[in-house]
Structure 1
Amino acid sequence: MIRSLVKLFAVDEQESPAQREHRLKLAAAALLVETARADFEEDAEEEAALEKALRQALDLPDTEVRSLLAEAGTRADHATSLYEFTRVINDHFSPERKRELVALMWQVAWADGSLHHYEEHLIRKVAELIYVPHEDFIRAKLETRPD
């Protein structure tokens, strides 16, 4: 039984660099998808901001962005917690990339012109789980806030 638990949480050591990179992109995309969904409203502005954020941050063409978003949405639908995504981020992202991810989450949240308290709560929770200092969390919020 313990072996099966270890196997469940273990990262495949035979994972190629391309597979690892895809897993990182998928984790970041899933957190952005969760941000867009946090206010329980499907919004064209947030969807566009989500695609733009992924395109810019990951330097992907439109077809790959849409494919990644579809897969991230499915993963987010079946996730039991944020841990499976934040663990990947913690294991592989530098502090700077973590701050960039939080800023992207803010951009998606602000895209519809308003900030729902569920969106803010989710971003705060993710920032804490990936060890982004509170001052960086606030700075990203203020820098991405629409005028």
Structure 2
Amino acid sequence: MLKTLKDLFDNLNTSLSGSAALSPAEEAHTLQLATAVLLVEVMRAEPAMKDAERDVIIQALRRKFTLEDDEIERLFELAHDTARTAYDYQRFTRSLNDRFTQEQKINVIEAMWEVAYADHHLDAHEQHVISKVAGLLHVTHGEYIAAKLHAQESMRHKGMTDAKG
């Protein structure tokens, strides 16, 4: 199964931007990669990437997707590599807009806020990335703020943030 998953992940960069018909498994992996890339983009918004942010991304991917630990690690690494060469967010948000419900898109924004709060500091660049992605996902301002507050409260309960913002 891991080899099959790896093969699918290796072909996803093409499928994210292409219009070819995808199998259900390829479509699921495309959505997983798109979600993971957006989370990684929040982590990359600050010059110094921190382990706490990486850990929150891994936890978010575990909550959202039913994957084995090694598959989650591979997804994270692929997302990190893909994010380094991405020139915009639209190729990722397009996949999510086409296939996610509004609630699922709000959950992605909330997970992005959790990544931003993971290091106890909300950076302006992180906030800009999340705001941009929320707009591309057609998340309303009210939904955006509610996701932010929910993530902030969630991270506070986990003892991970004292951040204001």
How far off is 1:10 after superposition?
A: 4.1
1:102 paired residue number:
109
Q: Are the aligned partners of 2:53 and 2:119 in contact in 1 as well (CA < 8 Å)?
A: yes
Structure 1's consecutive aligned runs of 4 or more residues displaced over 6 angstroms after TM superposition are none
1:12 to 12, 16, 20: 20
- Structure 2 unmatched ranges of 5 or more: 1-15, 157-165
Aligned residue for 1:77? 84
Indicate the RMSD between aligned Cα atoms, in angstroms.
1.4
Structure 2 SS opposite 1:99: helix
TM-score normalized by the length of structure 2:
0.80
Match for residue 36 of structure 1 among 40, 43, 46:
43
Q: Name the structure 2 match of 1:93.
A: 100
What is the CA-CA distance between 1:117 and the residue it aligns to?
0.5
TM-score of the aligned structures, taking structure 1 as reference length: 0.90
Q: Which has the higher contact order (CA 8 A, sep 6+)?
A: 1
Partner of 1:114: 121
Structure 1 residue 9: Cα displacement: 5.2
CA deviations on 1:69-120 (whole Å, 9 max, x unpaired) are: 1111111111111111111111111101000000000011100111001001
Aligned-partner Cα distance in 1 for 2:17–2:34: 15
SS at match of 1:81: coil
Q: Is the 2:17–2:91 contact (alpha carbons within 8 Å) kept by the matching residues of 1?
A: no
2:142 to 131, 135, 140: 135
Identity value in percent: 39
